Each structure stands twice: as structure tokens, then as C-alpha cells.
Amino acid sequence: MFQPVMRPHHEEKSTMAEIQYTIRRKIFTFLTSKFHIYDASEKLVGYSEQKAFKLKEDIRIYSDEAKTDERVMIKARQIIDFGAAYDVIDASTHEKVGALKRKGFASILRDSWVVMDPDDREIGKIQEDSMTMAMIRRFLPLGNLIPQSYHLSDQQQVELASFRQHFNPFVQKLTVTVYDGCPVSKLLVLSAGVLLVAIEGRQQ
């Protein structure tokens, strides 16, 4: 369903049209993690909660804190699993827009996810910025204080979106940038951002 759009490798990102979102999660919360999603103008466009100690993730994204307008469902296919797959469903149509699968063993050294279309065909991958930085974060003293960044690229290694953490001891903050021409559903990209904050954030 999603056909990759080739982007010239020499083209500078600064000249591309972009769409940006920010996902924020308070770190010191009890039992329930709360996620707020803002657009580039700081308008709240999504809200989600994640309850602790759930054996099977079922994350819902709503339009606001009232939770009356459900937008996205992110459902794990099995109970807690190091390499779990998550189906992303448009709540308004109940249609699957794609899936995200954590590459469990590969993520021990460098966080890595597979991005799939509604038929579970691989259409891209999300990977931590570099193996060197990943090793520094994991094995050097205070290395986990270095913010992570991730890149979504298609099968031809063309970058489609980026996810960048910001250091803050009280609020986990991730900037999601979707580049012009990205063929992947924005719902899927934003869901990936929520999972990076929710799942990879637990590894910190």
C-alpha cells in the first residue's frame, strides 16, 4: 500500500518541507504514564495513557485529555515480549494502517524496529542514530544521559522521518519530524514515536 518515494541523497534536509510533532511524557508519575502530543504550533493534537504492569500493551491515543475522541489503537500481538509486534489501527475506521516490530536481540546494542504495511510487508526500519553512540549510552558512566535519536528509512535507505530526544530530568521529550513526500501514514509514524517513548524509554 505504501510505495517508497525516492529522495535524492544530496538534497539538504533544511530545504525540505517538514511536519513536526513533539511527544512529552512526565517521568515521575505513579502507575500511569501520560503522553501529550503537540504540533509545531504547540497545539495539543493527541493524548495517551499507559498503565504500568500490563502484560499486554494496548495503548490508545485520543484527541485530548477528555478521552472522548479516540484516534489510534496500538495493540501488542502477544504478552510482554522482547521482540513484540504492535498493530496500529485507525480508531475512526477500525482499519489497520500498519505494524511496528521491535528487533529484540538487535536492540540490546542498538535500538532497532521494523516498520510494516497493513499486510505485514516490511516497508522501512527505525534505528538508533549510530552503533558508536548506542554503545556509549549503554556502557559508559552517565552515558544514558546522552539523548537518543532515531531515523526512519525506507528499503532504499532514504530517510523519511526522524525522532530526536531532548535531555530533561523531569519530562521525556521526543521531537518527531516527518519529511516531505514520506509515504508512510502519519498515524504510523506518530505511533512509532509513542512506542519509542513508552518502550525504549523503559530501558533508560
Domain count, the chain: 1
pTM here is 0.83
The candidate with the shortest Cα–Cα distance to 70, out of 93, 86, 92, 50, is: 92
Q: Is residue 67 part of a domain?
A: yes
Alpha helices in 41-124 (DSSP H): none
Residue 23 maps to which CATH number? 3.20.90.10
Q: Is residue 147 part of a domain?
A: yes
What range defines the domain where residue 68 resides?
A: 16-203
Q: Is residue 32 part of a domain?
A: yes
Q: Is residue 121 part of a domain?
A: yes
Q: Is residue 123 part of a domain?
A: yes
Q: Is residue 4 part of a domain?
A: no
pLDDT tens-place string over residues 67-109: 999 999 999 988 766 678 999 999 999 999 999 998 866 666 7
The candidate with the shortest Cα–Cα distance to 195, out of 96, 94, 93, 57, is: 57
Q: Is residue 59 part of a domain?
A: yes
Cα separation, 197 vs 26, whole angstroms: 11
